[in-house]
Amino acid sequence: MIQIVCRLTVSTVALCIRFLGMYSFSWYVFVSLKSALPMANAPNASHSPKDSSRDWGEGLRVLAATTWVQALCSAAMLLVPTLAPQVAAAFGVPTGLVGLQISLLYGVAMLTSLQSAVVARRLGGCRTSQLAMLLVLAGCGMVLMGSPVALLATTLLLGVAYGLTNPAAAQLLSRFTPADRRNLVYSIKQTGVPLGGILAGLLAPPLAAAWNWQAAFMAVGGATMATVLALQWRRSRWDSDRDSSARMHGFGSLEVLRRRVSMRWLGFTGFCLSAAQLSLISFAVAFMVEELLITLVTAGIIISLMHVAGVSGRIGWGLLADRLGGSLPVLYGLSALMAVVFLVISLVGAALPTWLAVVLLVIAGTTAIGWNGVYLGEVARRSLQRDVGDATAAVLVLTYMGVLVGPALFSLVVWLTDSYAAGFMLPAVAASLAIICLHNCRRASQEVETAAFR
């Protein structure tokens, strides 16, 4: 019992540390949203104070709901990796095989994204979010059966759920939050991803220690059921724009990439940045422990700082993008800074002093983990309100592909060179390619605007 209490205490302290950076922005975020959200749905400035207050509250409710749905889905995804030794032993499979679950899950999410926007348009963003939560609930229940086939079914269900969440959230956020705070709103919503990781890390090990590994899945399942019921309260309001005539077709949302060259290049940008992001997250600890000879405990602290920087960066870059009136300058800067940091890590390698490794990895966390919200904000900015879900789903297909390809290529480089430092040349190249993709995206947009003007 003493060990359990100690673990809970340590986990709570870790949670506070990770959220410290994010909540350093909290007051500014509150003031920014309060000044902006009253105009979320207003066609003009004639709203009464009562109407403005109602719209402001509705926008915050949508933002809170979509962030929480994202967090729960992310937490469910990470339960198996977090409890890998216990789950592997229970299912009678090697621990390394359990690690492949995340890759398969993202692959399913990528395929789901092809049609997820149609589902969100037909059912509505709120109902689609409820569907995602029910799929998570089914996945958490399925894994309790304790067979490898059940684990596979859980992975498929969670992958479909994850593929539904972002297009559904984009459809809701585009309607109920203001355009001039879009980047901040999407950045806050994307903090649901690291929040889910924190929830999994905070809750799963203590629950497994106190009872068994199944308790963690039951806890997440219970939370998803409560979320489904809570969302029902606002469903009629939030899903008033649903289109029952929407139908699945061909390659689904990829049609957006075929029609619009600028969105295609933005999708390639997501591919490059996600490859860099997952390379960092997957191999930073191994690099520090095996090549920099840093202890595992110290490496864990540095990783925590890296994630704090990432969460803080998501909100900070969103604020900056809204101040600048666009996301592209911020994405340019983040990509360039990423490329430089990863290049330095790759070239200096094992000669890096610990203090410089901390600085570089925190900067890498701020940039490589902090770009997602600003990126999705740019996707929304380039889309009509009715097309936001399709555009989001389309670029996420390529983004999820980067998640799959990046770590695989990094592993190949490490295997060929026997050096993690050499592997970090891959995210440096990926970030550099992202700059080229952003340039082509901007140029394609300018060509369209010039043609329209003529």
Does one domain contain both 188 and 276?
Answer: no
Listed residues 245, 271, 286: the one ending a domain: 245
Reading the chain (454 residues) residue by residue, the pLDDT tens digits are: 444 434 433 444 444 444 444 443 443 444 444 444 444 443 333 343 344 444 668 889 999 999 999 999 999 998 888 887 888 888 887 766 665 778 889 999 999 988 888 899 889 999 999 999 999 999 999 999 888 899 999 999 999 999 999 999 999 998 888 878 888 899 999 889 888 888 888 888 889 888 999 999 999 999 999 999 999 999 999 998 887 776 666 666 778 888 889 999 999 999 999 999 989 988 888 899 889 988 878 887 888 888 888 889 999 999 999 998 889 999 999 999 999 999 999 999 889 998 999 999 999 999 999 999 999 999 988 887 777 888 888 899 999 999 999 988 998 999 999 999 999 999 999 999 999 999 999 998 875 545 444 4
Q: Is 164 a domain residue?
A: yes
Does one domain contain both 150 and 266?
Answer: no
Does one domain contain both 210 and 347?
Answer: no
Does one domain contain both 436 and 411?
Answer: yes
Cα(232)–Cα(235) distance, integer angstroms: 5
Q: Is 352 a domain residue?
A: yes
Does one domain contain both 301 and 431?
Answer: yes
Q: Give the CA diameter of the chain.
A: 75
Give every CB contact of residue 30 below 8 A, 6+ residues apart in sequence.
none
Does one domain contain both 379 and 343?
Answer: yes
Phi, psi of 42 (to 5 degrees): -80, 125
Does one domain contain both 323 and 213?
Answer: no
Domain that holds residue 407: 253-454
Alpha-carbon distances of 75 from 80, 148, 189, rounded to whole Å: 10, 21, 15
Cα(108)–Cα(396) distance, integer angstroms: 12
Say how many residues make up the chain: 454
Q: Is 4 a domain residue?
A: no
Does one domain contain both 280 and 326?
Answer: yes
pLDDT tens column, 207-266:
988 899 999 999 999 999 999 999 999 999 999 888 777 666 666 677 888 888 999 999
Q: Is 364 a domain residue?
A: yes
Does one domain contain both 308 and 436?
Answer: yes
| Number of domains comprising the chain | 2
Does one domain contain both 230 and 273?
Answer: no
Q: Is 222 a domain residue?
A: yes
Cα(367)–Cα(337) distance, integer angstroms: 7
pLDDT tens column, 117-139:
889 988 999 999 999 999 999 99
Cα(367)–Cα(58) distance, integer angstroms: 31
Give every CB contact of residue 323 below 8 A, 6+ residues apart in sequence.
none
Does one domain contain both 349 and 447?
Answer: yes
Token pair recorded at residue 216: 């963690």
Does one domain contain both 208 and 264?
Answer: no
CATH at 174: 1.20.1250.20
Cα angle: 273, vertex 276, 279; to 5 degrees? 150
Q: Is 391 a domain residue?
A: yes
Q: Is 221 a domain residue?
A: yes
Listed residues 223, 245, 267: the one ending a domain: 245
Q: Is 127 a domain residue?
A: yes
